[in-house]
Structure formats: C-alpha cells, structure tokens
C-alpha cells in the first residue's frame, strides 16, 4: 500500500515535470493555432526573439483564454510595445502593476481617471513633469 502511494506520487511529479519540459522556445511554425492567434502581433519578429522572451510571451498566451474580450483586446493592442521594452522596463512595470493591484477599488478608479487627465496635458508639460522628480518610487505612497 505504501509502495503504491509512493509510485503514485512519483508518477504525479513526473507528469508535472513533463508538462514543464515540453519545448519552451518553439519557432513560430511550431506554435499551436491558438498560440499563433494570440501572439499574431509578434508574428514578424517571433523567430528573432530570445528564448526567454518567447517563454514570457507563451505565458501570456497561456493566460489569454482566462480573460474577458475587453482584456483580450487590450493584450493584443499592447503586445508589440511590450515585447520591445527592455527587461529593466518590463520588470519595473511588473512591480508597479503589483502595487496598483494592491490598491482599493476606489483608489484604482481614481488613478485611472488621473491617467486620462494626464494624457490630455500637452507633451511639453508632461516632459517637464518627468524632469522634475526622476526618482519617484511608485504608487504605494498614494494609498493613504
């Protein structure tokens, strides 16, 4: 009985590992139809992406079906710009996104509204604001 349980647990772990060891950096031609559909904005540059970049994009394709149509539309629109960011920029964006996500619903709505107002400012004003305080940490100070 003990032996059977050990065999079962080893089998489960092996299956899990197998799922992880499937080719992580496939070429465009090796992607599934659903992956190609999600990653269509990257079709022209997929084969020159580094393996770790492809892996990150495949993670996006994996989560894509869990989203609403509006969310999926946003992903498609932003995918190109995202793939061209530097790793440093992407990592910073991830940190700030986590901070934003931790805010209350009301605070999030307020910040979304502020973003739209900020977008309507002249580019010169926005550039001046960027030069003013280059080392602002993030959104965590604003949830007070």
Question: Which residue has tokens 């960027």?
Answer: 130
List all residues 6 or more positions away from 46 whose beta carbon is below 8 Å from its beta carbon: 27, 28, 31, 39, 54, 57
CA atoms of 124 and 116, how far apart (whole Å): 16
Q: Which residues contact 60 (CB under 8 A, 6 or more apart)?
A: 38, 39, 75, 79
105 near other proteins, judged by CB under 8 A: no
Task: Based on the shown chain and the rule CB under 8 A, indicate whether residue 100 belongs to the binding site for other proteins.
Answer: yes
In the structure encoding, which two tokens stand for residue 3, read together? 């032996």
142 binds other proteins (CB under 8 A): yes
* Cα(49)–Cα(52) distance, integer angstroms: 8
Q: Is 36 in the site for other proteins (CB under 8 A)?
A: no
**In this chain, which of 33, 104, 120, 134 binds other proteins, going by CB under 8 A?**
134
Q: Does 32 bind other proteins (CB under 8 A)?
A: no
Using CB atoms within 10 A of its CB, is residue 2 exposed (0-12), middle (13-18) or buried (19+)? Answer: exposed
Q: Pick from 64, 103, 107, 140 the residue near other proteins by CB under 8 A.
A: 64
Which region, judged by CB under 8 A, interacts with other proteins, from 22-30, 44-52, 125-133? Answer: 125-133
Which CB sits closer to other proteins, 43 or 129?
129
Q: What is the DSSP letter of 86?
A: -
Q: Tell me which residues touch other proteins (CB under 8 A).
A: 1-2, 5, 8-9, 12-13, 16, 20, 56, 59-64, 66-67, 71-72, 74-75, 78-79, 81-82, 85, 89-90, 92-94, 96-98, 100-101, 108, 111-112, 114-115, 118, 121, 126-130, 132-134, 136, 138-139, 142
């Amino acid at each position: 009985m003990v032996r059977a349980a050990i065999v079962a647990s080893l089998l489960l772990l092996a299956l899990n590992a197998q799922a992880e060891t499937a080719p992580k950096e496939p070429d465009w031609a090796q992607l599934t139809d659903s992956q190609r559909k999600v990653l269509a904005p990257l079709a022209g540059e997929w084969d020159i992406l580094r393996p770790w970049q492809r892996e990150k994009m495949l993670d996006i394709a994996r989560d894509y079906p869990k989203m609403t149509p509006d969310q999926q539309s946003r992903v498609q629109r932003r995918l190109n710009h995202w793939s061209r960011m530097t790793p440093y920029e992407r990592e910073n964006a991830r940190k700030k996104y986590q901070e934003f996500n931790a805010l209350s619903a009301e605070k999030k709505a307020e910040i979304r509204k502020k973003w739209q107002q900020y977008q309507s400012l002249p580019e010169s004003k926005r550039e001046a604001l960027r030069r003013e305080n280059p080392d602002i940490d993030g959104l965590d100070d604003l949830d007070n």
